Chains A and B, each alone.
Chain A
Amino acid sequence: MSLSVKHLLGIKELNTQDIETIFRTADNFKQVLQRPIKKVPTLRDTTIANIFFENSTRTRISFELAEKRLSADTINFSASGSSVSKGETLIDTVNNILAMKVDMVVMRHSASGAPWFLSRHINASIINAGDGTNEHPTQALLDAYSMRERLGDLKGKRIAIIGDIMHSRVALSNIFCLTKLGAEVTVSGPPTLIPKHIESLGVKVQYDVKKALQWCDVANVLRIQLERQHKPLFSSLREYALYYGINKSMLDSLEKEIVIMHPGPINRGVELNSDVADSDRSIILDQVENGVAVRMAVIYLLSGKSEALD
């Protein structure tokens, strides 16, 4: 009755049933989070290590809160100020943490595929909290969960993913998750930020952002990831904002109301204007709220698996 996987490495490896199970469990946790006592004793015998080799605010806090709401013990590790700077390898670092009887690992790493590599060498369950430009599965789950909360069943719904598709692990995980749930997905943005052959993932490409907005029910707007651009892929942020940024007057000119999402952190005035981000159309803060419930569901559903291995 639980998930078909032992780790949550990527949405690619989940089946539709798994995603539905996570959503149904998240519904229950969402209810727990609305009670006066927002905590359940479920995982009081579980210890979880949050290992972040890359910066994070939202994801790390959200995971930590999810773990605490489940009564798990948590330890936090960030690469800066650790022995990683002394040259310790990933496996050594993680094995040393696991030797202290840790049951589950939540990991973010700048190298794509790092959680897969780790899963071949350790026994504990791993949850990928973002690996390089590859996947960010819990973000995609909470995005789809938030869309579903607004629109109902996602089958046949039209979702536009707009912005830096090339460097975005949120984009890839979103594409896998939404297509598995039967939604139609279009990616949009400057041609230099959209990978070639992305149509092979079952999505359409629309370079004109206005047309993409006119087509969709939901626009998931992504952050421009300057830190991952090793050579300039558009001439300036100002130009990007002018041609691809989303503002209120642009949305007002559409013939319908659409829902606006963003995984954060927002570059205000670049991909999204404040008059949109803070408007009724935006469900950005719902995404953050749902993030805790969805992560609680993932942790809970994977928690049985680490024990089974010993």
Chain B
Amino acid sequence: MQVTSNAGQLVTQVLAGEVWPPLGDRHGFRVDPDGNAFLLPGMGGVTLGAHCGDPATGYAADHLEPGLSVRHRDQAANYALQYLTCVGNTVVVTSGPAAGSEGFVIGQHAYVLVDMPEPALRSVTAGDQVTVFAVGQGLVLLEHPAIKVKNCSPRLLAALAGGTDAGGRLRVHVAARVPAEAIGAGAGMASEYANTDLMGAYEVGGEDLSLGLHGLRIGDVVALADTDHRYGRGYREGWLSIGVISTGSGRLFGHGPGPSTIMSGPAEAFTIIDDPDANLAVLASVLPQKEHA
């Protein structure tokens, strides 16, 4: 993105995390939009076969978390991990047979979510330790004071298309525009924690549930209409938030594929460009070494 920022002044914090197992309860089943019971994988652990650029929906899964799902055992250390980690941060596996393998953060979902090449993912399991090079909180776009940036690494900012346009607005390329009606679970929570579930992209149910979001892909950059996510995730007419799709298929009613927020501001501060290539896959164009060299 062609934009001036304070990226050169940001510090990197080295944070420890652990690949967390999927969690269940003794009742097993949950309830879908029509009241039918389901029991599906997707949340926690190491989820294979779903990477940036792949479809976000169409899986037999609930709360699909691509790649690694990472937490810290200590509550305060975990909050630091969840709040300070940013999309695009480098993650290195430090224990187990995949030790030394690298991936990058695609978002938060009460876990830090990490995409890695499939061969490395196959060797990671719950309990393996990872190191996150956390940098990005505090990022400021110097010519766009109305826009608040969060959860966005300098590496992602550099890789995104767009930038300051002739009229002084921030041009952002998005793969999809999300209507306010789609905002599901996650509303009212801090923008630095978990993500916003989008409704209307279920694998089950009738046309009356659809909000036209079945084409979303993992890693897509999206625009969320009428949202102000500067200090928490809320509805606000005439405002706009930019997110990246970090979770996929959701079967639980009121849930679904979800964006992690990276920017928010008044709609007039942005120029939105529809671009099917607006996806975290662009991170490959910016080498991670620039971030924690």
Binding partners A and B: no
Binding site for B on A (CB under 8 A): none
Binding site for A on B (CB under 8 A): none
